[in-house]
């Protein structure tokens, strides 16, 4: 019996390039990849983590976004007829090393591989939805998809959302009372030509940063987000049984998996991070969930009134290093950033 041949750094680098299309808070893109001849390593970028230390002190949301990127890489590998084997947190002496991935030809789940075609179509819904319900059966399928990745998707029916909306208001108000949090949010506001951050029109960057840093926007943002909840055809809490880095990675993989499944039905997701960022509010949210799992993100799903454009990404060369094997060329197409839309209203819907 012959031993399967490793795909090589050029193939693995192409999978990583696809993975960079995953969502991340503030479009921070906190993943750093190292491509070896026979495997890929995924690390959390500590520099990015420092820039979000007030809003994400444990790196929970950033680790979730790395999980979303990891799922995207797995989907891309399946499309390339490669079976991806993931070793989560493989080295206790390197806590920033979140996963090591090896690939080899193997049996492929065709439905999972088909999600690769949807990756460029998944965008964050920043605005209200058009009111149409989800396609029949989609909500139940999304719950199953989350469970496959080790997470729970707990639906919040329309008649029970006021309690959740109250927690959203409380969380936004408390966050914007903290000057360090406000300063961080302000620093991540950028123009449409940047390859990271929350985009506003170029002429509005300076006044928007000043408004977030110095004005009391908490009440305004709280009411805006509560309104988004009330108008969504589907609202759920993504949760996990535990609350450590492995759980956050699982939550991120579950999030991206269900977002891709939804996008295949022309349904997009928007996110409400605030209730899980304030400890007291997160505890209250946990008490609302059957079995008291750990809430990781509040998710709203629906049909967008107009299709949003995608956010830009850093060039692939900025987030990956290649350890080429003998006779291999470590360089290839680095990709490029692209101009992107400016958000009409500032919102704390932070994943992009």
What is the overall mean pLDDT for the chain?
88
More confident residue, 172 or 342: 172
Q: Is position 342 within any domain?
A: no
Strand partners, 44: 31
The set of residues, in sequence order, having a beta carbon less than 8 Å from that of 324 and lying 6+ positions away, is 9, 37, 330
Region of poorest pLDDT, from 118-132, 270-284, 318-332: 318-332
Which H or E run contains 112? helix 110-114
pLDDT of res. 343:
42
| Angstrom distance (rounded) from CA 189 to CA 196 | 9
Residue range 155-181: mean pLDDT, rounded:
91
Q: Is position 347 within any domain?
A: no
3-state SS, residue 106: coil
Report whether 196 contacts 298 (CB < 8 A): no
More confident residue, 176 or 114: 114
Q: Evaluate if pTM is beyond 0.85.
A: yes
The set of residues, in sequence order, having a beta carbon less than 8 Å from that of 144 and lying 6+ positions away, is none
* pLDDT of 147 higher than 50: yes
Cα–chain center distance at 220: 25
Backbone angles phi, psi at 232, to 5 degrees: -90, 140
Instruction: Note down the domain range covering 155.
Output: 9-322
Backbone angles phi, psi at 275, to 5 degrees: -60, -20
Q: Is position 264 within any domain?
A: yes
Q: Is position 344 within any domain?
A: no
| Angstrom distance (rounded) from CA 272 to CA 297 | 7
> Tokens 């058009």 label which residue?
130
Q: Is position 181 within any domain?
A: yes
CATH assignment of the domain containing 309: 3.40.109.10
More confident residue, 3 or 168: 168
Confidence of residue 352 (pLDDT cuts 50, 70, 90): low
* pLDDT of 233 higher than 80: yes
The set of residues, in sequence order, having a beta carbon less than 8 Å from that of 321 and lying 6+ positions away, is 32, 33, 34, 35
* pLDDT of 5 higher than 70: no
pLDDT of res. 345:
42
Confidence of residue 178 (pLDDT cuts 50, 70, 90): confident
* pLDDT of 176 higher than 90: no
More confident residue, 343 or 215: 215
pLDDT of res. 28:
92
Task: Please tell me the total count of domains within the chain.
Answer: 1
pLDDT of res. 191:
65
Report whether 264 contacts 115 (CB < 8 A): yes
Report whether 181 contacts 320 (CB < 8 A): no
Report whether 218 contacts 172 (CB < 8 A): yes
Q: pLDDT > 90: what percent of the chain? A: 66
Exposed/middle/buried for residue 257 (C-beta within 10 Å: 0-12, 13-18, 19+)? buried
Strands (E) in the chain, as ranges, are: 31-35, 40-44, 82-88, 97-105, 152-155, 189-190, 198-199, 234-240, 268-272, 294-302, 320-322
Q: Is position 328 within any domain?
A: no
Q: Is position 219 within any domain?
A: yes
Q: Is position 238 within any domain?
A: yes
């Amino acid at each position: 019996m012959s031993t399967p041949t490793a795909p090589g750094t050029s193939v693995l680098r192409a999978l990583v390039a696809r993975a960079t299309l995953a969502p991340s808070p503030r479009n921070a893109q906190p993943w750093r990849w190292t491509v070896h001849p026979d495997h890929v390593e995924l690390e959390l970028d500590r520099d990015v983590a420092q820039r979000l230390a007030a809003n994400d002190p444990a790196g929970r949301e950033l680790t979730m976004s790395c999980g979303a990127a990891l799922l995207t890489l797995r989907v891309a590998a399946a499309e390339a007829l490669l079976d991806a084997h993931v070793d989560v947190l493989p080295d206790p002496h390197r806590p920033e090393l979140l996963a090591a991935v090896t690939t080899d030809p193997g049996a492929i789940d065709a439905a999972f591989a088909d999600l690769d075609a949807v990756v460029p179509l998944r965008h964050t819904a920043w605005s209200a939805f058009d009111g149409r319900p989800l396609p029949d059966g989609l909500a139940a399928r999304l719950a199953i998809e989350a469970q496959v990745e080790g997470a729970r998707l707990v639906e919040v029916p329309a008649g029970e959302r006021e309690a959740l909306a109250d927690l959203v208001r409380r969380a936004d108000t408390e966050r914007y009372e903290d000057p360090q949090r406000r300063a961080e949010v302000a620093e991540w506001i950028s123009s449409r030509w940047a390859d990271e951050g929350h985009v506003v029109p170029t002429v509005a960057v300076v006044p928007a940063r000043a408004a977030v840093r110095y004005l009391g926007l908490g009440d305004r943002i709280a009411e805006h987000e509560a309104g988004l909840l009330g108008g969504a055809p589907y609202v759920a809490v993504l949760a996990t049984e535990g609350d450590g880095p492995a759980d956050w990675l699982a939550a991120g993989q579950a999030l991206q998996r269900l977002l891709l499944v939804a996008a295949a039905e022309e349904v997009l997701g928007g996110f409400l991070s605030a209730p899980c960022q304030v400890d007291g509010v997160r505890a209250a949210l946990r008490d609302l969930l059957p079995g008291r799992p750990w809430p990781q993100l509040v998710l709203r799903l629906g049909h967008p009134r107009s299709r949003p454009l995608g956010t830009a990404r850093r060039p692939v060369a900025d987030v990956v290093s290649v350890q080429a094997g003998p006779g291999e060329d470590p360089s290839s197409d680095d990709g490029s950033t692209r101009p992107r839309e400016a958000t009409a209203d500032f919102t704390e819907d932070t994943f992009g």
